[in-house]
Structure 1
Amino acid sequence: MEIFATMQATFTTGPPLNSTEVRKCRAPDAALHQSLLHLRKSPKVCSVRHDDIFNSSGLSTPVKPFFGGKRKLYKWQRPSSELQKRENLPRLLVTASTAGIGSDNSSESSFGSNFPDPVSLRAALKASQARVLEIENEKRDILEALRQSEAKVQEYAALMVQTTDEALSELEASKKLFKAELSKVLEEKSTLQKETLLAKQDAVNLAVKIEKIAESAIQEATQRFAEDLVLKDSAAETAAAEAAAGVEESIRLAASDAAALVVTEASTVMEEALAAASLAKQQATKAQEALAKGMEIFEELSAAKLTTLSLQEKVSYLERELGISQGIVESLRLELKASQMRTEAANARAAEAEAAVQEVQRAAAEDGRERDDRAKQTLEEIKATLISKTEVASVVLQADLEALKAAYHAAQEAGNVKEQANLRMYEALERSLAAAEGSAEAWKNRALSVEGLLRRVKEEGLEAVSSVVAEEMVAGGRMETLLGNDSRKRDLLANGPRRETPEWMRRRIEVGFQGLPPRSSMPTNSEIEAQVPLHLPRPDEVWSIFNAKVKEDDLYTKQAVEKEALDEQRRALERALQKKTVKRHPEDGEGKLESGTGSGREIVFQGFNWESWRRKWYLELAPKAADLKKCGITTIWMPPPTESVAPQGYMPGDLYNLNSAYGTVDELKQCIEEMHNNDILVLGDAVLNHRCAQKQSPNGVWNIFGGKLAWGPEAIVKDDPNFQGRGNPSSGDFFHAAPNIDHSQDFIRRDIKEWMKWLRSEIGFDGWRLDYVRGFWGGYVKEYIEATDPAFSIGEYWDSLAYDGGQVSYNQDAHRQRIINWINATGGTSSAFDVTTKGILHSALHNEYWRLIDPQGKPPGVMGWWPSRAVTFLENHDTGSTQGHWPFPRDKLMQGYAYILTHPGTPVIFYDHFYDFGLHDQIAELIAARKRTAVHCRSPVKIFHANIEGYVAQVGENLVMKLGRLDWNPSKENNLAGSWERFLDRGSEYQLWERK
């Protein structure tokens, strides 16, 4: 007796199943064949469509692209029993089972005699229907999974295209960036070469000019000296000759006058004598005649005798006069001899002068030869300097090229990594696509097989379909997957029936790879990690680097050696400068430490903000002098004092007009005097880079200045793009709002030095804050400082920091090096604002305290390399106030002041923070702590910790400070000697300890 017989025929998908996993169909009884015959004789038509197989499961992909062809109809005969009341089954699944059949009989005659009863058929039909529903549900799930797989394939294809486009665009952008950087470097190289050639040519021309100028100067000086001597000699000879001629003329005139006078008087006397004689003769005659007449004649004779006596007296007088004239003549002869002697002395001096001229000519010739030698030596030094600069420039250029190469290689590596990731993605997409194609091919094959089976049933009848064929149909479908073999199902969906890449996919991949660099043979990160074990440090060793020992061959060691050499050079320069500087207001018992040209213990207060000009500021600031002194302020930085186009003072016009928006010149003097009365130095804000003109040129350009310094276009650099200057090229950056002054002109520097000396002597300024020093060479600043001898000087060299992905880069060595270069250009005579430290503090105080230490274990700003020239600050009138170009985080202000007031350098306190933000007492407390622990501009810094939790450092010998929430105190530090006592505690903001 047969147990039951089952036959299953369905539209299924997938590869052939194992025959052992399918239940064998045993069809020996006649009941099964009789059921099939009744089904065939039924007039019902069953429409079987290929697209129904797919679309019934909800797939949107039509079958026509897979199979082709039109829909086909097959007629199916069913008996007119209760089975006709049911709907046509969407799949062909007939199950017949019977019980109580005797022996197996496969002949057709046995069907009619042993036809099963309707109850058995109904039970078998219900079981078949239930099984059909179960299989349809499973197949619906599989079809849904297939649809999702196709959607994922499309999504992966779109993602692949998008990723390829992004990779191509990024690669193209990288190429363009590299080409731009390379062209920029080449342009800089060519510009540097041109500048080097121009510098060499300028040096040669300068040497030639120096030689010519020296020769012409020597010749002119010698010629002038000889001419002066000849002129002096001629003048002496002329004077002597004139004197001799004058003496001779005077002698001649005197002698002639005397002789004429003597002759005249003598002739007069003789005439009188002759007249008297004749008269006497006459009288004698008369007397003789009168002798005869008597006594009257005798009286006349006595009168004649008296007349004769008087005449004799006159003759004696004339003789005396003649002696006097002879004495005068003798004195005149003596004077003539003296004049002759003076003439001989003048001749001797002329001879000596001629000998001196010859000596001067000889000395001038020797001096000329020495100057020639010095000029040649200077030229050689200039050549050597140019050669060294060229070598340095070439080294720098080579380093830049190496950096670009490294960046390019890094970009290549990144591209290779991305390429490998894309390849892995492509392979996954290939596998998914292959799985989808295999699934579709399997569906197609199964549909064709079922179609052939139905055609065969139609043509040959159900008898032609044997149990072996049914078994093959079941084994050829995806029954294994549908019956619940999940591992097999996942393997088919993930990997597909094959692994070969189709031709169209290969062509598309080749098109996508066009323009990409060749594949690199470098190992992937996973391979490297698999080969090289990764040794991570302990958490307490990550940021506590004070005790870390660097390898001898480490790059940082070499850099540290180079930095140490630079530090030694700076210290030597500081020692040399220390001998020249003079401290203006020393404190009792305070030694010379030299900060710029100051004492090393300055604490600067910026005494204004961007809106201070709106009030009578000098009158408002003067009463605060006593409070500033009480809080420990030593120096105040005043606003620009000159008349200005802009009221803030940074667009100066007439430099000698000090009546500004801040107040009159008298109010300024009173304010400075009040500061001096409280022992506070006053820094003037000197704007030297640019100046506003008062008049227009004939071309309508404002380039003619007024006031005492009435310069013209020759005072403006010739490459100023806006003001048509006729001076030399600029030695720095441009300030586009006003004419840029040419400091290479001698008259410009002379006028500026006179003006700054006037500010020192007449107004009372003690030092300078120099505005926009990027606009001109630092060597000119050195000349101005040496000429004015300030007590302190600060330069504003504001430059942009390095950024990486919108964040401040950790390494800011290039930024602080540019500031150091400017200080070096001034010969170390001026300090500069530590913009590097300000920029780093912006990010470091937001739980990034690891930024506060550089690879050498020093502070990362200018204070880490040249602390005595670093002027630290948090905000000023540009970065803060109402301008707000670069404001410091408001909630981190006291942490910032705790850092700069306890570290080396010269700290600056902003007016707004001290008087407007309510931080007066806290800042004064930190100033007192700085003075109490003797921290100065060159105090050494020993950093113990710098991590995400906080920062700990020892400054000098007497102070330890902590920033952040780090759980630390001096007792926990093994490398900290001595006993310490906490004297200032602000919780997680900052804490200070003092050595007991």
Structure 2
Amino acid sequence: MKTFKFIYFLLAVSFLMVSCGKDEILDSVEPESAKPEESISTRAGLKAIGSGVMMQAFYWDVPAGGTWWNVVKGKVSSWSNAGVDAIWLPPVSKAQNGTFSMGYDPFDYYDFGQYNQMGSTETRFGSKTELESLISRAHNNGLSVIADIVINHNSGGDLEWNEFAGKNTYTKFNPMSNKFNRTKYDFHPNESYNSDSGIFGGFPDLSHKKAYVQDWLWKRSNSVAKYYKNTMGFDGWRFDYVKGFEPWVVREWKNAVGGFSVGEYWDGNVNTLDWWTSEAQVSAFDFACYYKMRDAFVGNNLNALSGDMLWKRNASRAVTFVANHDTDEIYTNKLLAYAYILTHEGYPALFYRDYEDWLDKNKLNNLIWIHNNLAGGNTSNLWTDNDEYIARRNGGGGKNGLIVYINNSNSWKERWIQTNWSSRRIKDYTGNSSWEPITQGGKWVKIQAPPKGYTVWSLK
């Protein structure tokens, strides 16, 4: 969830919402289980989620004016060709601030840019017709489309007397879609429930234990979940701010409609992430990995990569990332961080601006190819110190495995390491080294990596 950067109007009052040691085996798993648990697509003709990488197809404050859906539509073919298997879109429904909003202040869950309300017909990103065209183009290119679901809080309701709060509250919602109308009885506090896990930004907080709220969110035949999947064509879900409600909410949504699901539980504590994914029975963004990479690549100490991460606990429920629309703290050595997540277990996500604007797209495409074609099996840590990190993917699922060598020093480095291949020629698939050594009978070989760079070795 992004800290809000738009003007939030409440009647006539407006205010700004700002808004590892050598030879360590890292949580061995069977090669088949390293993909996301929801890896089999439910829609014919799409790539299995987990066969490639996810693209976060937006950033904070993308250009307004209703053009974004068409921008993304123009890129899905090249993304698919590069090895992307799913795109994650921002919240698609009409929010209180209309064309000014990034969608995280939802008002009408069924207005995708077709109703004139909240100051506009289109959303910031475009019209319903343009959204449908984008989804169709994505599907035609084999890509799943992941919806950003904001169900902790709502915004834009009218004022009503609220005896449960003892004051007037903005909890009367009469959207033009005439679907999921809401009143004070659907938010906290109400006649039955005072609160849940947490509120956000002072917005009305949905009460998920209320039967009416459950019906409209995921149970009814035209619930938000079923309408988004069956009518709009979404294939999966990114749940915003899941700290604000209990994990059973996500679990019940997923059980009702299926599809790949990942929660934004913003916490670097791997125990907490492991608990939440177990309770919700879906994936989570691996913030533990993110913060360890920040310490490693910004703090210039690769020993941080020896720390615990969600992908080391349960790779099938870890979505790894280097940056997103909320946080972009790995501002140095970012390509090394991508070399890390694209060679390791978990389901990697790419950030739009990194791929399209800021980093070398050819190098990222090379790493995507390596991930999709070589990075199979569990992980063995071969070497970690302040400046060097070497790990082996042991192969499986039709992939030979690889050795990744990350060098954060200012000079070339070389090391003898043990592979899984005896008397075989290997090469660096990044092109950063021209060596093509033959492994010894005992599977040992010397490899190298350039300064502030990386190499990825596998069978030639």
1:993 maps to amino acid: W
Matched with 2:239 is: 770
> Do residues 705 (structure 1) and 170 (structure 2) align?
no
Q: 1:581 to 1:904 in 2, by over 3 A?
A: closer
> Do residues 853 (structure 1) and 321 (structure 2) align?
no
Matched with 1:841 is: 293
> Do residues 584 (structure 1) and 28 (structure 2) align?
no
TM-score (norm 2): 0.78
Matched with 1:899 is: 340
Please give the residue correspondences for 1:656-667 in structure 2 after superposition, counting only pairs within 5 Å: 656-659=110-113, 660-667=123-130
Matched with 1:888 is: 330
Please give the residue correspondences for 1:379-528 in structure 2 after superposition, counting only pairs within 5 Å: none
Please give the residue correspondences for 1:224-303 in structure 2 after superposition, counting only pairs within 5 Å: none
Give the whole-Å Cα distance in 1 for the aligned partners of 2:107 and 2:45: 39
Q: Deviations over 1:596-648 (max 9, x none)?
A: xx643241001111122514111121111111111111100011011112410
Q: CA deviation at 1:863?
A: 0.6
TM-score (norm 1): 0.37
Q: 1:632 aligns with which of 74, 78, 83?
A: 83
Give the whole-Å Cα distance in 2 for the aligned partners of 1:974 and 1:919: 31
> Do residues 618 (structure 1) and 69 (structure 2) align?
yes
Q: 1:914 aligns with which of 350, 355, 361?
A: 355
1:632 maps to amino acid: G
Give the whole-Å Cα distance in 1 for the aligned partners of 2:428 and 2:322: 26
Contact 1:644 1:650 in 2 (8 A): yes
Give the whole-Å Cα distance in 2 for the aligned partners of 1:990 and 1:975: 17
Contact 1:693 1:706 in 2 (8 A): no
Q: CA deviation at 1:765?
A: 0.8
1:963 maps to amino acid: I
2:128 maps to amino acid: V
Q: 1:942 to 1:622 in 2, by over 3 A?
A: same
SS in 1 for 2:200: coil
> Do residues 739 (structure 1) and 189 (structure 2) align?
no
> Do residues 696 (structure 1) and 194 (structure 2) align?
no
Contact 2:52 2:83 in 1 (8 A): no
Give the whole-Å Cα distance in 2 for the aligned partners of 1:586 and 1:852: 39
Contact 1:658 1:665 in 2 (8 A): yes
Q: 1:586 to 1:941 in 2, by over 3 A?
A: farther
Q: 1:650 aligns with which of 93, 104, 112?
A: 104
Contact 1:639 1:684 in 2 (8 A): yes
SS in 2 for 1:739: coil
Q: 1:797 aligns with which of 249, 253, 265?
A: 265
Q: CA deviation at 1:582?
A: 4.7
Please give the residue correspondences for 1:925-944 in structure 2 after superposition, counting only pairs within 5 Å: 925-935=366-376, 939-944=377-382
Give the whole-Å Cα distance in 1 for the aligned partners of 2:70 and 2:354: 20
Give the whole-Å Cα distance in 1 for the aligned partners of 2:126 and 2:287: 31
Give the whole-Å Cα distance in 2 for the aligned partners of 1:601 and 1:581: 8
Q: 1:893 to 1:546 in 2, by over 3 A?
A: same
Contact 2:296 2:304 in 1 (8 A): yes
Contact 2:24 2:381 in 1 (8 A): no
Q: CA deviation at 1:918?
A: 4.2
Q: 1:982 aligns with which of 424, 428, 431?
A: 428
Gaps of 5+ in 2: 1-19, 114-122, 162-166, 396-400, 433-449
Q: 1:994 to 1:765 in 2, by over 3 A?
A: same
Q: CA deviation at 1:949?
A: 2.3
Please give the residue correspondences for 1:36-55 in structure 2 after superposition, counting only pairs within 5 Å: none
Q: 1:877 to 1:946 in 2, by over 3 A?
A: same
Give the whole-Å Cα distance in 2 for the aligned partners of 1:820 and 1:757: 28
SS in 2 for 1:973: strand
Give the whole-Å Cα distance in 1 for the aligned partners of 2:84 and 2:40: 20
Q: 1:849 to 1:685 in 2, by over 3 A?
A: same
Q: 1:712 to 1:992 in 2, by over 3 A?
A: same
Give the whole-Å Cα distance in 1 for the aligned partners of 2:242 and 2:369: 33
Q: 1:875 to 1:544 in 2, by over 3 A?
A: closer
Contact 1:851 1:946 in 2 (8 A): no
Matched with 1:992 is: 456
Q: 1:710 to 1:946 in 2, by over 3 A?
A: same
Q: 2:322 aligns with which of 874, 893, 896?
A: 874
Gaps of 5+ in 1: 1-542, 549-559, 591-597, 719-724, 802-814, 855-859, 881-886
Give the whole-Å Cα distance in 1 for the aligned partners of 2:288 and 2:44: 30
Contact 2:188 2:205 in 1 (8 A): yes
Q: Deviations over 1:268-320 (max 9, x none)?
A: xxxxxxxxxxxxxxxxxxxxxxxxxxxxxxxxxxxxxxxxxxxxxxxxxxxxx
Matched with 1:959 is: 402
Q: CA deviation at 1:947?
A: 0.2
Q: CA deviation at 1:976?
A: 5.2
Contact 1:631 1:927 in 2 (8 A): yes
Give the whole-Å Cα distance in 2 for the aligned partners of 1:760 and 1:605: 19
Q: Which structure dedicates a bigger proportion of its chain to helix?
A: 1
Q: CA deviation at 1:733?
A: 2.3
Q: CA deviation at 1:879?
A: 1.0
Q: CA deviation at 1:587?
A: 8.5
Q: CA deviation at 1:656?
A: 1.2
1:962 maps to amino acid: Y
SS in 1 for 2:272: helix
Matched with 1:218 is: none
Q: 1:683 to 1:547 in 2, by over 3 A?
A: closer
Q: CA deviation at 1:851?
A: 1.4
Contact 2:197 2:244 in 1 (8 A): yes
Q: Identity, % of aligned pairs? A: 25
2:108 maps to amino acid: D
Q: What do you get for the CA RMSD once the two structures are aligned?
A: 2.6
Q: 1:944 to 1:738 in 2, by over 3 A?
A: same
Give the whole-Å Cα distance in 2 for the aligned partners of 1:547 and 1:658: 50
Larger RCO (CA within 8 A; separation ≥ 6):
2
1:664 maps to amino acid: S
Q: Deviations over 1:730-754 (max 9, x none)?
A: 3312213311111111111111011
Q: 1:674 to 1:894 in 2, by over 3 A?
A: same
> Do residues 715 (structure 1) and 183 (structure 2) align?
no
Contact 1:730 1:776 in 2 (8 A): no
Q: Deviations over 1:528-557 (max 9, x none)?
A: xxxxxxxxxxxxxxx753279xxxxxxxxx
Give the whole-Å Cα distance in 1 for the aligned partners of 2:342 and 2:216: 38
Matched with 1:819 is: 273
1:951 maps to amino acid: Y
Give the whole-Å Cα distance in 2 for the aligned partners of 1:712 and 1:726: 12
Q: CA deviation at 1:727?
A: 4.4
Contact 1:586 1:599 in 2 (8 A): no
Contact 1:901 1:926 in 2 (8 A): yes
Q: 1:727 to 1:847 in 2, by over 3 A?
A: same
For the pair shown, the structure with the greater C-alpha radius of gyration is: 1
Q: 1:582 to 1:963 in 2, by over 3 A?
A: closer
Q: Deviations over 1:386-416 (max 9, x none)?
A: xxxxxxxxxxxxxxxxxxxxxxxxxxxxxxx
Give the whole-Å Cα distance in 2 for the aligned partners of 1:614 and 1:599: 30
Q: CA deviation at 1:975?
A: 6.4
Q: CA deviation at 1:956?
A: 3.0
Give the whole-Å Cα distance in 2 for the aligned partners of 1:962 and 1:837: 18
2:211 maps to amino acid: D
Matched with 2:140 is: 677
1:702 maps to amino acid: Y
